[in-house]
Amino acid sequence: MTATVAFADLKPAASPRAAPPFSFFEWMVARRYLGATRTGRGVSLISIIAFVGIMLAVATLIIVMSVMGGFRDKLIGQLLGVNGHVFVQSDRPIENFETLAEKIRSVPGVVSATPLIQAPVYAMAGSEAGMVIRALNPDEVRSINYVAGVDPETGRSHVLAGSFENFGAGRNGGDEIALGSRLAFSLGVDIGDPVTLISGRGADTPFGPTLGRKAYRVGAIFEVGNSEYDGFIGFMPLEQAQIFFRYGDAVQQIEARVADPDNVKDTAARIRAAVNPEASEVYYDVRDWQQQNQSYFNALQTERSVMRLILLLIVAVAALNIITGLIMLVKDKTGDIAVLRTMGATQWSIMRIFFLSGSLIGVLGTMFGVLLGALFVFNIDAIEQFLSAVLRTDLFPEDIYYFKGVPAKFEWSEVRTIVGWSLFMSFVSTLYPAWRAARLDPVEALRYE
């Protein structure tokens, strides 16, 4: 018995479903195309060169920015360790400084508020030099770790000679001062030697103001590790400075320290509102440490930004090597591309295959660059010691740079920026070669095969 089949029951065979974008097939072909072939062994070499270029560029950028960040933190740490964060002063000496200091301490975010007199003087001993006197309460001076404490990294005391035990002791604060190490060397003085200070705030006479002049004894020599402080700064008890600079019972300014120095502007605004109420007869000028050291701070920021831009361009140049490798790969795989097209691969599929080939170079180069940079940064002291031993010279002498090792700070925010830029340039570099591969005419490609 013969079965009859109605024509209505006959259905055309279902067409094969197109592979989804970035399917396993496209990944497999892209990975195989990165290897050497019988006719184009140079392709893999160029891929390796592009990979190594991106890896070294990313690692170099991470290392340089980490070292610059480490130096920046050290320098700003010294700046904020010796000086305050917010400065309150007026156009006249501040007489009610204790009341004003208590008002500043009550502001949220303020850690301490200290009366201060800071003035330039001329110093004479074995030789002569200009310097700046910072006059604080003796306890405040002893609490400054960079002056009277111990460096937590090196374990070395910042006090090179003498001590601060008798600083401020005696009548009217005594006659003992502390000098920076380079300043003491310039003046040719040691512990117990006299230093004559000359100030322009002397007594008034019928013939005009005179120069203030008094001899003090060097009680301590400190070393902050910054040439500006070690070469120009000296400390004097506040009570003695009020007499020497003729301030009476007043001070020059109030120096406040805040809990978050990086976001000091918000706290400075609250201090400004607290010390300048609407009915106030005296206006107090409030400035933060960034304003006080604007040129210094801007120089660090500019140097960091320019260096980042230069090194990002190096990463971009390294990523552009992908274009060379992919163009050569497209030329070498012309026949393969034509075969894939005749077998049903779409232009978009061909484009994705070569996009993946170039992107793999960029992604792997970036990943290994981050790994290499992190290993270098976290072991930078051991690397510096090894190179110093091999070259038989101290590449980072502690007595010059005042650091036990090379300061480096691995910042994840900086690494994210570097990784994002490297991947972006790698992806962009693959677009043109991938587009050229997708535009190949399979008939023309197979004509001479």
Domain of residue 131, residue span: 110-258
Residue 32 lies in a domain: yes
Whole-prediction pTM: 0.72
**Residue 223 belongs to a domain:** yes
Query: Do residues 180 and 307 share a domain?
Result: no
- For 241, counting Cβ atoms within 10 Å of its Cβ (0-12 exposed, 13-18 middle, 19+ buried), the class is buried
For residues 213 and 255, the answer to whether their CB atoms sit within 8 Å is no
Q: How many Å apart are CA 446 and CA 404, to the nearest integer?
A: 67
Strands (E) located in 48-206: 86-94, 110-124, 128-136, 159-162, 176-180, 194-199, 204-205
Burial of 353 (0-12, 13-18, 19+ CB in 10 A): buried
Q: Answer yes or no: do 212 and 148 share one domain.
A: yes
Are residues 308 and 438 located together in one domain of the fold?
yes
Other C-beta atoms lying within 10 Å of the C-beta of residue 150: 12
pLDDT in tens, 328-364: 777 767 777 777 767 767 777 777 878 888 888 888 8
- What is the rounded distance in angstroms from the CA atom of residue 249 to the CA atom of residue 239? 9
The verdict on 28 and 154 lying in the same domain is no
| DSSP code per residue over 305-361 | HHHHHHHHHHHHHHHHHHHHHHHHHHHHTHHHHHHHHHTT--HHHHHHHHHHHHHHH
- Clarify whether residues 307 and 392 are in a common domain: yes
E strand or H helix that includes residue 376:
helix 347-378
User: Do 185 and 302 fall into the same domain?
Assistant: no
Same domain, 209 and 339: no
Residue 65 DSSP code: H
Task: Indicate whether 276 belongs to any domain.
Answer: no
Query: Within a domain: residue 132?
Result: yes
360 domain-assigned? yes
> In terms of domains, do 131 and 237 share one?
yes
Q: Do 416 and 363 meet the contact criterion of CB atoms below 8 Å apart?
A: no
Task: Please check whether residue 288 lies inside any domain of the structure.
Answer: no
User: What pLDDT is stored for residue 356 in this prediction?
Assistant: 82
73, 228 Cβ separation under 8 angstroms: no
pLDDT at 15: 41
Count structural domains, the chain: 2
Strand pairing class (233-237; 128-136): parallel
Q: How many CB atoms are closer than 10 A to CB 394? A: 13
CB neighbour list of residue 171: distance below 8 Å, 6 or more residues apart: none
- Residue 144 within a domain: yes
Q: What are the tens digits of pLDDT across the range 65-85?
A: 898 888 888 888 888 888 889
DSSP assignment of 296-312? HHHHHHHHHHHHHHHHH
**Residue 253 sits in the same domain as residue 303:** no
pLDDT the model gives residue 441:
66
- Write down which residue in 226, 258, 290 finishes a domain: 258
Both 40 and 125 in a single domain? no
Q: Residue 81: what pLDDT? A: 83
Same domain as 118, residue 241: yes
**Residue that is last in its domain, among 232, 258, 284:** 258
Residue 130, helix vs strand vs coil: strand
Last residue of a domain, one of 258, 276, 309: 258
pLDDT (0 to 100) of residue 387: 83
Which residues of the chain have a pLDDT value below 50? 1-8, 10-16
Is residue 283 situated within a structural domain? no
Strand partners of residue 129: 123
Contacts of 352 (CB under 8 A, 6+ apart): 21, 22, 26, 434
Q: Do 237 and 313 sit in the same domain of this protein? A: no
Predicted local distance difference test score (pLDDT) of residue 248 = 87
Q: How far is CA 194 from the centre of its chain?
A: 42
